[in-house]
Amino acid sequence: MASSDDEAETLPVPPVSNYHFVDHKEEPISFSILPIKWDEGERLEGSQEPVFLHGTVDNGLQKVYKQVTAWRFNISGSKPEISVLSKENVWITLQKPRKSFEDTIRTILITVHCLHALKRNPDTSSKSLWDLLAKTFSLYEV
């Protein structure tokens, strides 16, 4: 059975790694400029400049280039998860960013990881929190 291009667009996208975001001028930007979508029923209002996700899936075997319209984060699992909503209304999970893009989104990544740690253990000391964040982001250049 043959499938159309429209059907292929609605299939889930595997988690994207080695990613970065650009605006319509191909300038790097943070996905945090997009609106946060807190729940599925929420409607996104207003026009905004287009934002595009560049990255790879399947261990770098396939490239991804999608326009995205919103983002969300989930801190209830064993690891925090950040996703972006494609223009086709499909959520795309983000994994490791492109090395040159890490500095652009460092603040938002640290914030989400901090929220995740505090949700799991609200009584943690500030030293323990800093130690955990330092360990989590030790691979990132400072």
Rounded Cα gap, residues 54 and 17, in angstroms: 9
Instruction: Name the residue among 91, 106, 80, 103 with its Cα closest to residue 16.
Output: 91
Tokens 């690891």: give the residue. 79
pTM of the model: 0.78
Q: Which amino acid is at 52?
A: F
Task: Flag whether pLDDT at 142 surpasses 60.
Answer: no
Instruction: Name the residue among 116, 117, 68 with its Cα closest to residue 89.
Output: 68
Task: Flag whether pLDDT at 7 surpasses 60.
Answer: no
DSSP characters for 113-140?
HHHHHHHH-TT--HHHHHHHHHHHTTTS
Share of the chain above pLDDT 90, in %: 39
Rounded Cα gap, residues 31 and 51, in angstroms: 8
Which tokens go with 51?
A: 């934002």
16-56 pLDDT per residue, tens: 999 999 999 999 999 888 998 888 777 776 557 899 999 99
Task: Flag whether pLDDT at 70 surpasses 90.
Answer: yes
Instruction: Give the per-residue pLDDT at 139.
Output: 56
Task: Flag whether pLDDT at 141 surpasses 70.
Answer: no
Per the prediction, the chain carries an average pLDDT of 83
80-109 pLDDT per residue, tens: 999 999 999 999 999 999 988 888 888 888
Starting from the edge strand earliest in sequence, which strands make up the sheet with 62-74, in order?
A: 28-29, 17-22, 51-57, 62-74, 81-86, 91-94
